[in-house]
Amino acid sequence: GAGVSQSPSNKVTEKGKDVELRCDPISGHTALYWYRQSLGQGLEFLIYFQGNSAPDKSGLPSDRFSAERTGGSVSTLTIQRTQQEDSAVYLCASSLVGGGASETQYFGPGTRLLVL
């Protein structure tokens, strides 16, 4: 079966524009996570979905960031009024059940966002 896929793979945008990043998790995986990795930084947790609901949004850096998940599958991460500091690789991961720290997360290849 296919792994986690993300689109676009690369995105260049101008400051102030909105962007949407898409994640297709592994089929049947209930849990979905968004992370970002800025240059020289570790992976930073953004948000976690269990099904279509997001019990943990604690990592979203500002109200310009939002995410949704529909049909228990595809998720989109939206960044409004992008800023240059939003430039990073945005990674999506999924796991089978969620709710347990010991569950392996499978990562997508990431979307490289550059805000000019």
Partner 1 sequence: DQQVKQNSPSLSVQEGRISILNCDYTNSMFDYFLWYKKYPAEGPTFLISISSIKDKNEDGRFTVFLNKSAKHLSLHIVPSQPGDSAVYFCAASAPNTGNQFYFGTGTSLTVIP
Residue closer to partner 1 by CB (options 8, 99) is: 99
Contact residues: partner 1, CB under 8 A: 4, 31, 33, 35, 40-45, 48, 55-56, 58-59, 91, 93, 98-102, 104-110
Which residue type, as a one-letter code, is found at position 25? P
Whether residue 95 contacts residue 29, with contact meaning beta carbons closer than 8 Å, is answered with: yes
DSSP 105: P
* 83 contact partners, CB below 8 Å, separation of at least 6: 15, 64, 115
**Closer residue to partner 1, CB minimum distance, 59 or 72:** 59
Give the integer Cα–Cα distance in Å for 79 and 106. Answer: 23
Minimum CB distance to partner 1, residue 81 (Å): 26
Nearer residue to partner 1 within complex by CB, 14 or 42: 42
Q: Work out how close the CB of 3 gets to partner 1 at its nearest, in angstroms, rounded to a whole number.
A: 8
